[in-house]
A = this chain, B = another copy of it.
Amino acid sequence: MTSDERSDGSARPGRAGRRSGHAEPYTLASLVEVAARAFNERGYDATSMEDLSRAAGITKSSFYHHVSGKEALLRAALDRALDGLFGILAEPGASAGAPVDRLRHIVRRQVEVLATELPYVTLLLRLHGNTETERWALARRREFDQTIARLVADVRSDVDPVVAARLLSGTVNSLIEWYRPGRVPVAELVEAVDRQVFEGLLR
């Protein structure tokens, strides 16, 4: 973390000597991925454009040739996270069937999306609402959570549905705090969350 960044070698086009023509350009998506990873490691505000450009392998001014600014990178990353989450609600399993089955489907798919879109969802879940972009993303996220809350209310009307839904979302979302791809297979993770959420620690 002192200098010579980019501890993981991914998402870095092959321009080892600036020779050999264009050689795979920096796409917006690849730079957003680099940015999302850096934002998660140090936090959005603590990550400078110098950090990002160094992680991408070019200078700060060159970096601005590909992206319009810091906040645009954040918005693109949040967009990707929200698209993944709302995509779940558009699936047949989320709208058809008994409420408990729909809830179960959403929870399991949400675990999968969290795992596959980890850097982007992590950013979404750590927002503060400082800028208009962040407030917009937070509003969409609340929309998603409320859909789940209504389902929880249908499944369990005896306990406080609001509190139960918050705890459910908290359990699922807490994956971003520790899950890293590769260690635990996603399918295994889905089963673990499903069991703990619906059956609890005491069977």
Instruction: Say how far A182's CB is from chain B's closest CB, in angstroms.
Output: 14
- Are A202 and B198 interface neighbours, CB within 8 A? yes
Place the interface of chain A in its size category: 35 or more
Residues of chain B with a CB closer than 8 A to A45's CB: 43, 45-46
| Interface check A155, CB cutoff 8 A | yes
- Are B166 and A201 interface neighbours, CB within 8 A? no
| Bound complex: CA A201 to CA B130 (Å) | 35
For this chain, the copies found in one complex come to: 2
Residues of chain B with a CB closer than 8 A to A4's CB: none
Across the interface, name the chain B residue whose C-beta is closest to A172. B170
Instruction: Say how far A56's CB is from chain B's closest CB, in angstroms.
Output: 20
| Bound complex: CA A139 to CA B39 (Å) | 21
Instruction: Say how far A196's CB is from chain B's closest CB, in angstroms.
Output: 5
Q: Which residues of A contact B (CB under 8 A)?
A: 41-46, 100, 126, 128, 130, 152, 155-156, 159-160, 163-164, 166-171, 173-175, 177-178, 184, 188-189, 192-193, 195-202
